[in-house]
């Protein structure tokens, strides 16, 4: 069995040569310089390779691994593992292709801020399962579990590419110890609806007057926040008996700039627009809103910063007649949640001037879509129709993530079963 080579001492000293005191061996010209133990082996092409170590045991283990991989055909030259992670991550990013330029920007931001920034200077061979576990723990201190789960998939894909390119033998993200602690992309859906209808009534009253009708767009039409911000009265058919709303745009961010864009995941070839029914009572409420706050023409780039300018009459704008920014609006939303007793603040600063609240991700504006879905199912709407109205490709996802128990549902079951028995009697 091959053994590590001692660089600091002669293997065949001449008789009478003086020995060094610390080790009791004849010193070589390299004595005391660099790492003492040298692991030497021949690669599959017969070329000698080597790597130095401070400790004998480390050199011996490395030599055993190298010889084993040569024998079983899985050998990868250690020097390939010297490639910095940031180089591979940047290459992985360059290989990604998206129809929507905003999607690439989101990927680039996550990889740059949460993979390259904390891990980029590490060599690939230095990234161990323990490295990934520590990275997950630290990311969870500043980001939500779902977000960390998404970034983890990016990191795992980067390292999988390194494996495919024979830079490292295996992906540390795929080890058992990491799989046991890796964050989930989505949490189990709550049984109860996050914001019941009655609670949204109270919340509505504590929003500024000009934004109260946003609640009705969410719970009455199933619109996402960005779609509500991009809602134009020109998108609705206000005169027909079977009124409908064409949801065809949202307001979102691209490189720090507000832009108009198709609904979530929409592209030029597949804009992901949809039509939802507009109830007469809800239409009346929205007309009243427009009389009090007339729609305002707003011009924004289309799809990306620097894109073609598009002008749209918007239902909801700021007092300065500008498009709504989610960061500003979310402050108002959390303040209203605090006022009705749903959440608590964690400091005493004023709203908009640094006030912070406890985590309430499941009670933000998106909870209105969950309420819309739960109420629709409770009233007998089939899940396939509901999935179409919510722009979900998989009806099972709609049931699994968006449908919750609503007020009065249990009593509805009692009456339904009782009706059957009354007929039988």
3-state secondary structure 64-98: HHHHHHHHHCCCCCHHHHHCEHHHHHHHHHHHCCC
Would you state the pLDDT for residue 420? 60
Would you state the pLDDT for residue 288? 97
Same domain membership, residue 103 and residue 229: no
Same domain membership, residue 159 and residue 71: no
- 137-141, 177-181, 276-280, 415-419, range with the lowest pLDDT: 415-419
Whether pLDDT at 425 is above 60: no
Residue in 88, 96, 84, 75 with CA at minimum distance from that of residue 166: 75
Mean pLDDT on 239-246: 88
Mean pLDDT on 167-186: 90
Same domain membership, residue 306 and residue 214: yes
Own/partner long-range contacts of 107-112 (Cβ < 8 Å, ≥24 apart): 107/154, 110/150, 110/151, 110/154, 111/151, 111/154, 111/158
Q: What is the pTM of this model?
A: 0.75
- 62-66, 284-288, 320-324, 414-418, range with the lowest pLDDT: 414-418
Mean pLDDT on 187-205: 89
Q: Which two tokens mark 301?
A: 């780039």
Would you state the pLDDT for residue 136? 96
| Alpha-carbon Rg for the chain in angstroms | 31
Domain boundary among 45, 75, 105: 75
Q: How many helices (H) and strands (E) does the chain have?
A: 16, 9
Whether pLDDT at 358 is above 60: yes
> Tell me: the pLDDT tens digits for 408-424?
666 666 676 666 666 55
How many of the other CB atoms lie within 10 Å of CB of 346? 11
Would you state the pLDDT for residue 280? 92
Confidence of residue 117 (pLDDT cuts 50, 70, 90): very high
Same domain membership, residue 398 and residue 270: yes
Give the total number of structural domains in the chain.
3
Please report whether residue 276 resides in a domain.
yes
Same domain membership, residue 348 and residue 303: yes
Would you state the pLDDT for residue 24? 92
Residue in 373, 375, 371 with CA at minimum distance from that of residue 399: 373
Please report whether residue 187 resides in a domain.
no
- Tell me the pLDDT of the chain averaged across its residues: 91
Domain span at 160: 82-179
Whether pLDDT at 190 is above 90: no
Same domain membership, residue 371 and residue 272: yes
Please report whether residue 43 resides in a domain.
yes
Please report whether residue 66 resides in a domain.
yes
- Helix locations, 213-252, DSSP H: 213-221, 225-229
Domain boundary among 40, 75, 110: 75
Whether pLDDT at 306 is above 70: yes
Confidence of residue 101 (pLDDT cuts 50, 70, 90): confident
Would you state the pLDDT for residue 144? 86
Confidence of residue 71 (pLDDT cuts 50, 70, 90): confident
Mean pLDDT on 261-270: 90
Helix (H) or strand (E) holding 171: none
Whether pLDDT at 367 is above 80: yes
Would you state the pLDDT for residue 230? 98
Would you state the pLDDT for residue 217? 97
Confidence of residue 215 (pLDDT cuts 50, 70, 90): very high
Mean pLDDT on 223-238: 96
Residues 371 and 402: their CA atoms lie apart, in Å, by: 8
Please report whether residue 420 resides in a domain.
no
> Tell me: the pLDDT tens digits for 12-64?
999 989 999 889 999 999 999 999 999 998 988 888 889 899 999 999 998 99
Strands 274-277 and 257-261: unpaired
Helix pair angle (213-221, 367-378), 10° resolution? 50
Same domain membership, residue 349 and residue 394: yes
Residue 313, domain CATH: 1.10.443.10
Confidence of residue 352 (pLDDT cuts 50, 70, 90): confident
């Amino acid at each position: 069995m091959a053994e590590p080579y001692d660089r600091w001492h002669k293997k065949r000293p001449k008789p009478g040569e003086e020995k060094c005191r610390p080790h009791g061996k004849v010193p070589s010209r390299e004595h005391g310089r660099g790492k003492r133990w040298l692991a030497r082996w021949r690669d599959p092409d017969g070329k000698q390779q080597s790597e130095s170590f401070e400790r004998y045991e480390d050199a011996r283990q490395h030599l055993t691994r190298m010889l084993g991989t040569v024998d079983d055909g899985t050998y990868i030259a250690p020097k390939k593992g010297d490639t910095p992670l940031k180089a591979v991550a940047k290459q992985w990013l360059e290989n990604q292709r998206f129809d929507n330029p905003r999607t690439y920007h989101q990927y680039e931001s996550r990889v740059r801020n949460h993979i390259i920034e904390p891990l980029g200077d590490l060599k690939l061979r230095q990234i161990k399962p323990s490295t990934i576990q520590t990275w997950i723990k630290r990311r969870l201190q500043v980001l939500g579990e779902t977000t960390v789960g998404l970034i983890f998939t990016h990191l795992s894909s980067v390292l999988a590419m390194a494996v495919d390119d024979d830079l490292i033998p295996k992906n540390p993200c795929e080890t058992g110890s990491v799989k046991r602690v890796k964050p989930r992309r989505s949490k189990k859906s709550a049984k109860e609806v996050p914001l019941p209808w009655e609670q949204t009534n109270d919340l509505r009253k504590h929003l500024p007057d000009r934004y109260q009708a946003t609640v009705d767009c969410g719970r009455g039409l199933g619109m996402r926040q960005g779609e509500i911000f991009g809602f134009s009265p020109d998108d609705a058919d206000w005169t027909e008996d079977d009124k409908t709303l064409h949801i065809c745009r949202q307001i979102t961010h691209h490189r720090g700039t507000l832009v108009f864009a198709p609904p979530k995941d929409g592209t030029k070839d597949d804009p992901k627009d949809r039509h939802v029914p507009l109830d007469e009572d809800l239409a009346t409420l929205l007309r009243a809103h427009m009389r009090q706050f007339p729609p305002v023409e707003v011009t924004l780039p289309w799809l990306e910063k620097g894109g073609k300018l598009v002008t749209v009459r918007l239902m909801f704008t700021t007092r300065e007649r500008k498009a709504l920014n989610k960061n500003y609006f979310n402050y108002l939303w959390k303040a209203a949640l605090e006022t009705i007793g749903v959440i608590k603040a964690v400091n005493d600063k004023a709203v908009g001037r640094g006030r912070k609240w406890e985590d309430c991700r499941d009670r933000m504006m998106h909870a209105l879509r969950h309420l819309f879905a739960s109420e629709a199912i409770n009233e007998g709407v089939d899940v396939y129709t509901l999935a179409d109205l919510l722009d979900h490709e998989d009806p099972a996802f709609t049931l699994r993530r968006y449908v919750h128990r609503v007020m009065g549902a249990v009593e509805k079951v009692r009456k339904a079963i009782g009706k059957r028995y009354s007929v039988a009697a």
